Amino acid sequence: MDTSGWANYLIKTEPFHVQTSQLLQQCFMNKAGLVTSNYVLAELIALLYSPLRITKPQQIKIMETIKAAFWVKVIHIDQVKEQQAYQLWKSRPDKKWSLVDCSSFVLMQDERITAAITSDHHFEQAGFIRLLKM
């Protein structure tokens, strides 16, 4: 699950809020694990703080809820994955991919994940299925 997926789930005014809520409910009901990373969660906190201006106590509650959810697996981007992500990011000057995007691509390849709960078209550019789109 990418940062945009979390934002769409958490913020009711986001364009894919209902669709994201349904996808997460399906994951929970089907006992399908949801994968995200420490990089994505760090980016989420930055997004919640600015521009969304979510208070710190609310941010803490959100993070603790995510980390406590048995069906959410938070994978730590270690030095190896970080270096792979950096090399991918550096090797694609033609793409506007962020380092967080590239870390997700590396993680998804390692975990054999083909689809992402994201509205970010960069995932399609990298060959993955973007689940949140019109």
Give the chain's mean pLDDT: 96
Average pLDDT over residues 89-98: 98
pLDDT digits (tens, 9 = 90+) for 21-64: 999 999 888 888 899 999 999 999 999 998 889 999 999 999 99
Going by pLDDT thresholds of 50, 70 and 90, the confidence category of residue 12 is very high
Average pLDDT over residues 82-91: 99
**3-state percent breakdown (helix, strand, coil) of the chain, nearest 5:** 55, 10, 35
pLDDT for residue 61? 97
Give first-to-last CA distance, the chain, whole Å: 18
pLDDT for residue 31? 81
> What is the Cα–Cα distance from 85 to 100, expressed in whole angstroms?
8
Average pLDDT over residues 67-90: 97
Question: Residue 64 is encoded by which pair of tokens?
Answer: 């603790």
> What is the Cα–Cα distance from 53 to 31, expressed in whole angstroms?
33
> What is the Cα–Cα distance from 129 to 36, expressed in whole angstroms?
15
DSSP symbols for 5-20 = HHHHHH-TTSTTHHHH
pLDDT for residue 28? 86
> What is the Cα–Cα distance from 68 to 27, expressed in whole angstroms?
16
Task: Considering only the C-alpha atoms of the chain, give the largest distance between any 2 of them, rounded to a whole number of Å.
Answer: 41
pLDDT for residue 51? 83
